[in-house]
Amino acid sequence: MANRADNSMRCSNSKKPNDGMMLVISIFAGIVIGFLLGISFPTLSLTKIWVPSNPRGAEMLPPSFVAAESDFYLRRLWGLPKDDLPVVKPKYLVAFTVSYEQRKNIDACVKKFSDNFTIVLFHYDGKTSEYDEFEWSKRAIHVSVPKQTKWWYAKRFLHPDIIAPYEYIFIWDEDLGVENFDAEEYIKIVNKHGLEISQPAVESRKSITWKITKRIPGIEVHKFIEIMAPVFSREAWRCVWHMIQNDLVHGWGLDFALRKCVEPAHEKIGVVDSQWIIHQKIPSLGSQGTAQEGKTAFQGVRERCKREWTMFQKRMTRSEQKYLKEIASASSNSTRT
C-alpha cells in the first residue's frame, strides 16, 4: 500500500511541470496567432463606417472600396485580373436588338464597327448560339429574352452605371443598311459638331416616316433625330435612361422629348448627313405579337405603339405641370415667411 501511495504522489508531482509548460505554450501560441491576424487585416477596426455620400446601400463601406460602376468587358477565369483586358479598351458600345432571320444584315453591321466598340446583341427571338457561325460573336455580349423591344432591353441592361466607361452608346435596329456608313468617321463628325444625341441620316427605297431625318446630300450635319438609330453621349444617355418608362416598351414619343436632356438642344441634337444608313423597313418585331380580337399580330403591336405614344405625352405633361405647381407653391410659401 505504501508503495502504491508513493507512486501515486510521484505521478501527481510529475504532471504539474508539464501542465505549466502547456499553459505557457498556449499563451505564446495565442499571442502569435493574434499578431498574425493583426497584420493580415490591418484595416480591421471597431469604428463604425457610415458615408452618406456613398451610393445608396453602400454607406457602410469605405469610399475607396466602393465599385459604383461596371462595364461589359469580358474577363478570363484564370491569371491576374490586371492582365485580362487589352491595353486599349473599347471606348464605345453598340447594341442591336436582333432576330436570327436578320443575321446576315447584323453581320454586315457589326463589321462596320472596329475593336473600339463593345458589341451587344439583344435577342428577341431566343436564338443566341446560332450566331456562333460568326467569328465576332465570341467577343459579343448576348442577352436573350423573347418578344421584347430594344427600349425594354435598354432600360434593364444599359443602366448608365453599367456602361459608364463608354463615351458613346449606339442603340440600333436590326434592319439598317450600312454600306455608306463608317463608325469611326461618324464619331469624329459627332465630336467635331459637339452632338450629344445624334443619328446617321436615313435613305430608304420606301417612304421615310420622319422626313427631317432624310439625308441631305452635300452637307455634313443637320439638326433633329428619331429613335431608329440613335447615338448618345455618355452624359446624355444618363438623362435619357431615366426618361424611359418601364412599361412603355416601344419608345414612341421618346424622340420628341430627347431635347429635354441636352442644352441647347438645337445645337447638340443632330443628323449626320455625310454618314448615312438605309432603312430597309423589315417589320420583324411586329410579328412577335399575338393575333387576337380579329387583329393580326402586327396590327396589335402597332396599336400598342400608338397608345404608348399618347400615354408618354400625357405623363410628361402632367409631371411637368406637377413640378411647376410645386415650385410655385414653395416660392409662395417662402415669400410669406
Closest to 195 measured CA to CA, from 273, 141, 78, 115: 273
Q: What's the pLDDT score for residue 132? A: 95
Q: What's the pLDDT score for residue 11? A: 44
d(CA 181, CA 114): 12
Q: How many domains does the chain have?
A: 2
Q: What's the pLDDT score for residue 239? A: 98
Same domain, 256 and 185: yes
Q: Is residue 239 part of a domain?
A: yes
Q: What's the pLDDT score for residue 2? A: 45
Q: Is residue 313 part of a domain?
A: no
Residue for cell digits 463601406? 61
Domain range for 255 is 90-283
Same domain, 41 and 134: no
User: Which of 268, 283, 298 is a domain's end point?
Assistant: 283
Q: Is residue 199 part of a domain?
A: yes
Same domain, 60 and 118: no
User: Which of 260, 283, 306 is a domain's end point?
Assistant: 283
Phi and psi torsions of 67, nearest 5°: -105, 90
Q: Amino acid identity, residue 245? A: Q
Measured between alpha carbons, how far is residue 60 from residues 38, 43, 44, 50, 67 in Å? 22, 14, 14, 5, 13
Same domain, 196 and 264: yes
Q: What's the pLDDT score for residue 310? A: 97
Same domain, 202 and 116: yes
Same domain, 128 and 222: yes
User: Which of 242, 267, 283 is a domain's end point?
Assistant: 283
Q: What's the pLDDT score for residue 213? A: 59
d(CA 30, CA 155): 54
Measured between alpha carbons, how far is residue 123 from residues 101, 146, 252, 271 in Å? 11, 7, 21, 27
Q: Is residue 156 part of a domain?
A: yes
d(CA 85, CA 69): 17
Same domain, 56 and 98: no
Same domain, 178 and 268: yes
Same domain, 59 and 106: no
Same domain, 57 and 119: no
Q: Is residue 57 part of a domain?
A: yes
Q: For residue 259, what is the domain's CATH number?
A: 3.90.550.10
Cα three-residue angle 182-186-187, rounded to 5 degrees: 125
Q: Is residue 149 part of a domain?
A: yes
d(CA 318, CA 73): 40
Same domain, 142 and 271: yes
Per-residue confidence in pLDDT tens, the chain, 337 aa? 444 444 444 444 444 556 667 776 777 777 767 666 566 555 555 689 999 999 999 999 999 999 999 999 999 999 999 999 988 899 999 999 999 999 999 999 999 999 999 999 999 999 999 999 999 999 999 999 999 999 999 999 999 999 999 999 999 999 999 999 999 999 999 999 999 999 999 887 665 555 555 666 766 776 666 677 999 999 999 999 999 999 999 999 999 999 999 999 989 999 999 999 998 877 666 667 777 888 888 888 889 999 999 999 999 999 999 999 999 988 877 777 6
Q: Is residue 228 part of a domain?
A: yes
Same domain, 136 and 42: no
Q: Is residue 192 part of a domain?
A: yes
